[in-house]
Chain A
Amino acid sequence: MKTSASGKTKMKEIYAPNQKVKAGVYIIAAFLVILYLLPIYVMLNQSFRYVTDLTPRLYLPEKWTLENYIEAFTSSSLIGSFKNSIVLVAEVCAVEIVLGGIAAYGLARAGGKVSTTLRTFNICIMMIPSLSLLVGTYSLMVKFHMVNKIWALALQTAAIGMSSTMFFYTSFIISIPKDLDEAAAIDGAGIFRTFFTIILPQLKPITVTRLIMIAVGAWNSYAMPSYLLTDTSKSTVILTVRKAFYTAYGAVQNVPLACAMCAVALLPVILLYILLQRYIIEGQLDSVSK
Chain B
Amino acid sequence: MDKRKKGILLSLSIPAFLLIFIFMIVPLGNALRVSFFKWNGFSQNMRFIGLENYLSLFSDKVFWRSTANTFVYGFGSTLLQNIFGLSAALFVNKQFKGRNFVRLILYMPIMISGVIMGAIQYYIFSYDNGVLNNFLNLFGIEDIYWMKSGVGSVLIITLINSWQAMGFCMLIYLAGLQNIPKMYQEAARLDGASKWQAFFKVDIPLLMPAITTAVITNLIGGFKLYDIIVTLTNGGPNRKSLSLSYYISLLYFNDEKAGYSSAVGIALFVIIFIVAVPINRYLRSKEVEF
A residues at B contact (CB < 8 Å)? 1, 3, 7-8, 10-15, 17, 22, 25-26, 28-29, 32-33, 35-39, 42-43, 46, 56-59, 95, 99-100, 102-107, 109-112, 114-115, 118-120, 123-140, 155-156, 158-160, 162-164, 166, 170-171, 174-175, 191, 216, 219-220, 222-223, 227, 238, 241-242, 245, 255, 258-259, 262, 265-266, 269-270, 273-274, 277, 280-281, 284-286, 288-289
Please, which residues of chain B bring their CB within 8 A of the CB of A132? 31, 244-245, 248, 265-266, 268-269, 272
A245–B290 CA distance with the chains assembled, in angstroms: 48
Please, which residues of chain A bring their CB within 8 A of the CB of B266? 132
Q: List 22 A-B contacts (CB under 8 A).
A: A10-B182, A25-B94, A26-B96, A32-B91, A36-B109, A38-B124, A39-B120, A104-B13, A110-B10, A127-B280, A131-B246, A133-B269, A135-B261, A158-B19, A159-B22, A162-B19, A166-B13, A191-B9, A222-B114, A242-B115, A262-B119, A277-B104
Contact indicator A219/B10 (Cβ below 8 Å): no
- A162 and B227 in contact, given A133-B31, A139-B34, A140-B26 (Cβ under 8 angstroms): no
Query: What is the size, in residues, of chain B's interface with A at 8 Å between Cβ atoms?
Result: 112
A288–B226 CA distance with the chains assembled, in angstroms: 27
Interface segment out of the listed B57-65, B75-83, B127-135, B146-154: B127-135
Please, which residues of chain A bring their CB within 8 A of the CB of B116? 238, 241-242, 262, 265-266
Contact indicator A130/B262 (Cβ below 8 Å): no
Please, which residues of chain B bring their CB within 8 A of the CB of A219? 113
- A136 and B223 in contact, given A15-B95, A58-B131, A114-B10 (Cβ under 8 angstroms): no
Classify the secondary structure of A's interface with B: helix
Specify which of A10, A25, A171 is in contact with B287 (CB 8 Å cutoff): A171
Closest B residue to A284 by beta carbon equals: B171
A232–B179 CA distance with the chains assembled, in angstroms: 48
Please, which residues of chain A bring their CB within 8 A of the CB of B157? none
Please, which residues of chain A bring their CB within 8 A of the CB of B249? 131, 134, 223, 227
Contact indicator B23/A160 (Cβ below 8 Å): yes
Contact indicator A106/B11 (Cβ below 8 Å): yes
Please, which residues of chain B bring their CB within 8 A of the CB of A12? 95
- A8 and B131 in contact, given A1-B100, A39-B117, A241-B116 (Cβ under 8 angstroms): no
1/0 per residue, CB under 8 A from A, across B218-255: the answer is 01100110110011000000000000111011001100
Contact indicator B115/A106 (Cβ below 8 Å): no
Contact indicator A222/B245 (Cβ below 8 Å): no
Please, which residues of chain B bring their CB within 8 A of the CB of A223? 226-227, 245, 249
Please, which residues of chain A bring their CB within 8 A of the CB of B182? 10-11, 14
Q: Which residue among A11, A58, A280 has the maximum number of chain B CB atoms within 10 Å of its CB?
A: A58
Contact indicator B111/A32 (Cβ below 8 Å): no
B residues at A contact (CB < 8 Å)? 1, 5-6, 8-17, 19-20, 22-24, 26-32, 34-35, 41, 88, 91, 93-96, 98-117, 119-121, 123-124, 129-131, 134-135, 163, 168, 171-172, 174-176, 178-179, 182, 185-186, 189, 195, 210, 213, 219-220, 223-224, 226-227, 230-231, 244-246, 248-249, 252-253, 258, 261-262, 265-266, 268-269, 272-273, 275-276, 279-280, 283-284, 287, 290
Please, which residues of chain B bring their CB within 8 A of the CB of A156? 23
Contact indicator B275/A127 (Cβ below 8 Å): yes
Contact indicator B102/A33 (Cβ below 8 Å): yes
Closest A residue to B284 by beta carbon equals: A120
A137–B32 CA distance with the chains assembled, in angstroms: 11
Contact indicator B102/A222 (Cβ below 8 Å): no
Closest A residue to B110 by beta carbon equals: A216
Please, which residues of chain B bring their CB within 8 A of the CB of A158? 19
Further pairs besides A12-B95, A288-B210: 6, Cβ < 8 Å: A99-B15, A131-B245, A135-B31, A222-B113, A223-B227, A265-B116
Closest B residue to A131 by beta carbon equals: B245
Contact indicator A103/B213 (Cβ below 8 Å): no
Contact indicator B23/A110 (Cβ below 8 Å): no
Closest A residue to B230 by beta carbon equals: A222
Closest B residue to A266 by beta carbon equals: B112
**Whole-angstrom distance from the CB of B138 to the nearest CB of chain A?**
8
Contact indicator B12/A241 (Cβ below 8 Å): no
Please, which residues of chain A bring their CB within 8 A of the CB of B244? 129, 132
